[in-house]
Structure 1
Amino acid sequence: RFRRLDHRSCEALEVVLKSLHFDFINLQAAQLEENGASSLLDMILYYESTTHLDVSDNSSMGTSGWRALAHLIKQSVRLSRLDLCNVPLVDYPVQALAKALLTSRLAVLHLDNAQLSGVPLYTLVGALKTNRALRELHLTSNVLNSYQDALQLGELLRYNTTLQTLELSSNTLADAGKKQSLCDSYSGHICLSRK
């Protein structure tokens, strides 16, 4: 278990990030605070430290931390998978994420339990309609509903031609007709599994 990664702790990690490249950096529940998150994410980008980053369960990154994460998503040439679960993606966080996804190289994105129903999902889908890199999108446990959210997901599948897996388990898309309309929106392989 991490102790709180504040600015000073994150700065001390620079020598490691500078010297080594990782397949996976796990910062889940690291209690990242704003300055520490900003500093650490900037370093991960500068040294292109990883291909898979998990920053799940970090709800206190603040505006600077989110700005740094968005910059990392947008600019990194190595980062191919991001896990950002159990973090509310509302207001500034979802706007920053959506803007970064317009040009990111991410292939896999996990946004489980991120409160993405309604306006946040609309914001995310707006960016992903033109994204040509993402192959997998995981939206488990977001309380996605069978009406507006299903329509947004249908729009995503209609316009995004590179998405191969859409994980929607543990949501409230209970209407079989809505699920079928999602499948009909796209001719590729979409996973509408239920756990």
Structure 2
Amino acid sequence: MSKLRSDSDEEAQVFETAIISKSPRWQDSLADSSPFVMGAVATTLLTISFGMLNFRDVTLQAPVFVADLCFAAGAGLVISAQWEMLKGNTFSYTVLMAFGFFYAGYGYVTIPSTGIADFYGGTSTPSFNNALGAYVLVWACFNFFFLICTIRMYVLELQKHLTPLSSHVLTSH
């Protein structure tokens, strides 16, 4: 009977070292895509802000914004999202994909050759602005759900760190 136990103990040790023990994951060796994401979003929002302010007589309908919206922000965020998916960051993947498609879609609307603005009678018509406002409103609602998820995650994380601190403060008196 003791022979049987020692065999099972050895098998358990082999199983534990081979299967259960943590080895470095290959995803941990991947680079972080966050610097590119922050740069792409920052440059896109900066150029759009210049257009909204009519900085140096550049209007928001200038074709130069298509490159930023469709490629720097749109395609860049979608590619970065794939990187996050490989790393196993599901929430980051979802957020980056959503923002990437938002920017790409908004950029597509601003391309004059698509005829979207002409369908509504031009970019200065109330119907075009209402349609564009509805597009942005739907995405704003979608982003509100991201905010709820983020707050929930960080409240739980904050609670985890503050609980030992609060118990220490309460018992020190």
| TM-score, structure 1 normalization | 0.21
More strand by share: 1
More helix by share: 2
TM-score (norm 2): 0.23
